């Protein structure tokens, strides 16, 4: 098999889709496809021994907003599998796995045999475990298996006091979540090369509706007052633009893809202005939206996390529009 955007592609023979679920140590559960041993008779059914026409990408966090959208928007010549933490997704090649469980990611990669992992999965209930430990496990398993990695990070790795931020600026997180995402980035940089880090911001979508937009709509529908800050500025991004850019990067040659990318909307927006745009799009009165400032909050959140996306603008054909364009008509 020749070389492509992922270097020397995996040569293992794989089965076609089967329906039985298979359980593995460490909590890994396999729902559809099994590996076929490349040497002689193997104990697996319906082995496909032809030349694979596609590359295989494993997306972690397949039940999440971004992971699901990436799966839906995958190019025709990409064979996508996903992970989920608690259940299998109907109609997908899916794995249920706890990425923070010791040994689980190694088994996952052995079973799925991806050429590239796109790591979107995260949870905030126990960030040290579900962000830091899980990412370390993914990185170590990818390094051992020779699998390339595209990792999702956040604008929260910065302090919000020195915007705009560029790809090579020093990490300066001030929140627990930001520190956890920064720790994950540092571990990737030190233990896996080449690797790709994608920093993004608030992600907005109408189909499906993202949780933040849904919360604003729900509050305004029942007339519940909500306070949105005029001085909390983010480079919010449209989900549809984001996934197109991610796939364009994922299918690049390894050397061209490696490093940090900022994938964000082309115009920063404050939380209050974003709330007004959401209200206008849905035909809801904005009277319940209260303009506040971060100084009034004890949360200690970064104020201005504007990201500069010069690399994406210069390298991608995908367009990253202002997030307000999503609510313009």
Taking only the tens place, the pLDDT of each residue in 188-220 is: 999 998 899 999 999 999 999 999 999 999 999
Query: What is the per-residue pLDDT for 42?
Result: 30
Tens-place pLDDT, residues 48-87: 334 444 799 999 999 899 999 999 999 988 999 999 876 5
Orientation of helix 271-281 relative to helix 211-221, angle to 10°:
70
User: Which domains does the chain show, CATH number per domain?
Assistant: 55-326 (3.40.50.720)
Name which residue leads in pLDDT, 293 or 3: 293
pLDDT digits (tens, 9 = 90+) for 91-136: 558 899 999 999 999 999 999 999 999 999 988 788 899 999 999 9
For the whole model, what pTM was predicted? 0.84
Give the pLDDT confidence of 161-193 residue by residue, as tens digits: 999 999 999 999 999 999 999 999 999 999 998
Cβ contacts of residue 178 below 8 Å, gap of 6+?
154, 156, 157, 158, 302
The model's confidence at residue 11, banded by pLDDT at 50, 70 and 90, is very low
Quick one: how far is CA 315 from the chain centroid?
20
């Amino acid at each position: 098999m020749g070389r492509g955007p992922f270097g020397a592609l995996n040569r293992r023979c794989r089965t076609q889709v089967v329906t039985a679920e298979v359980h593995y140590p460490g909590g890994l559960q396999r729902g559809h496809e099994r590996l076929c041993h490349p040497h002689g008779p193997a104990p697996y059914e319906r082995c496909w021994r032809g030349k694979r026409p596609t590359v295989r990408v494993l997306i972690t966090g397949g039940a999440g907003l971004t992971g699901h959208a990436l799966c839906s928007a995958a190019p025709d010549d990409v064979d996508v599998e996903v992970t989920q933490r608690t259940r299998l997704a109907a109609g997908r090649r899916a794995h249920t796995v706890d990425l923070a469980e010791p040994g689980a990611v190694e088994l996952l990669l052995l079973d799925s045999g991806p050429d590239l992992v796109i790591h979107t999965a995260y949870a905030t209930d126990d960030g040290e475990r579900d962000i830091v430990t899980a990412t370390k496990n993914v990185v170590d398993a990818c390094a051992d298996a020779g699998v390339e990695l595209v990792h999702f990070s956040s604008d929260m790795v910065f302090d919000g006091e020195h915007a705009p931020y560029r790809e090579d600026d020093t990490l300066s997180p001030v929140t627990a979540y930001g520190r956890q995402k920064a720790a994950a980035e540092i571990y990737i940089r030190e233990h896996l090369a080449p690797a790709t880090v994608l920093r993004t911001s608030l992600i907005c979508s109408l189909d499906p509706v993202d949780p933040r937009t849904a919360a604003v709509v729900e509050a305004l529908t029942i007339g519940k007052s909500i306070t949105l800050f005029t001085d909390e500025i983010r480079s919010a991004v449209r989900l549809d633009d984001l996934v197109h850019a991610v796939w364009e990067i994922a299918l690049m040659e390894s050397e061209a893809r490696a490093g940090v990318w900022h994938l964000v909307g082309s115009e920063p927006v404050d939380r209050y202005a974003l709330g007004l745009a959401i209200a206008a799009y849905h035909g809801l009165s904005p009277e319940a939206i209260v303009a506040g400032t971060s100084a009034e909050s004890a949360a200690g959140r970064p104020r201005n996390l504007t990201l500069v996306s010069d690399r994406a603008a210069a390298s991608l054909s995908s367009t990253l529009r202002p997030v307000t364009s999503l609510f313009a008509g």
